Amino acid sequence: MRGLMIALTFLTRLPLPAPENIDAAELKHSQHYYPLVGLILGGFLWLAGRLTGPYYPPLVVGAILLALELALTGGIHLDGFMDSMDGLLSARTPERKLEIMKDSRVGAHASMSLAALLLLKFSLLASLKPADMGILLLMPMISRWAFLIGVIGFPYARKEGVGQGFHEASRWLVFASEGLIILAFAVWFLGPAGLAAMVAASALAGLFSWRVSRHLGGLTGDIYGATIELAEVFALLAAFPFLH
């Protein structure tokens, strides 16, 4: 339970008591609880969708769901997405791109990419019918599992950072075991839509991580966050045709 509490306080803004005396090893190993954190976040989104869907216009429901996710996570992964896009989309050397990604200032590429990502996610959320809200339970869980493909399978681009510890603490056996459990739950819960979401998020995480690692020589914590955000959208996109 301590590992779950560490993961919850690190990834969310839920009003929970923060565990005391967290050491580096505990923080690193808490990543194995990230899919469970995603399931908890998904539960809040699913409940909000079920409560608002029958009574409000789709656009309002989409806005509520998007705002709720931002409130629950504090935009921690969006911050990584924006930093990543500022660096990756710049016409610079790999070394300079890594420097840009560490810069806290927001550039044009980050702003444009954020607008595109949120518009696409909002459109998908607003298009869900009340009976389709089950995908909200799976989307955050699948994405927080899929990003581990990059953590485990590719080197870290910097010599230090929280992400470096995640890479060192990752294990394929734990990842695969979690994946089988999530896949079984997704297929049982949503059938083809759950399978499509799982496949799409995994493929996106693998291809994106491979492409970035090949270019930069490894991944970073910002790339991990970007992978989670992109995997959420791709999971929704892939599941959507099977929900109707």
The total of other beta-carbon atoms located within 10 Å of residue 13's CB is 14
Residue 227 within any structural domain of the chain: yes
Residue 134 within any structural domain of the chain: yes
Residue 99: its pLDDT value, please?
A: 87
Average pLDDT across each block of 10 residues of the chain; the chain has 244 residues. List them in order: 86 86 74 94 97 94 98 95 92 86 86 97 96 95 96 82 54 87 96 97 97 93 96 97 87
Helix (H, G, I), strand (E, B) or coil at 95: helix
Beta carbons of 228 and 140 less than 8 angstroms apart: no
Residue 195 within any structural domain of the chain: yes
d(CA 221, CA 199): 23
Residue 31: its pLDDT value, please?
A: 85
| pTM confidence score | 0.92
d(CA 14, CA 116): 27
Residue 221 within any structural domain of the chain: yes
Question: Which residue range(s) make up the domain with 234?
Answer: 32-243
Residue 168: its pLDDT value, please?
A: 53
d(CA 227, CA 146): 8
Count of domains in the chain? 1
Tokens of 122: 């909002």
d(CA 13, CA 7): 11
Residue 77 within any structural domain of the chain: yes
Q: Computed over its alpha carbons, how large is the radius of gyration of the chain? A: 17
17, HSE (Cβ side, Cα atoms, 13 Å)? 5
Residue 151 within any structural domain of the chain: yes
| Beta strands, E only, 39-170 | none
Residue 224: its pLDDT value, please?
A: 95
Tokens of 28: 């690193």
Q: What is the pLDDT of residues 71-105, one digit of tens each?
A: 999 999 999 999 999 999 988 888 898 888 888 78
Residue 110 within any structural domain of the chain: yes
Residue 8 within any structural domain of the chain: no
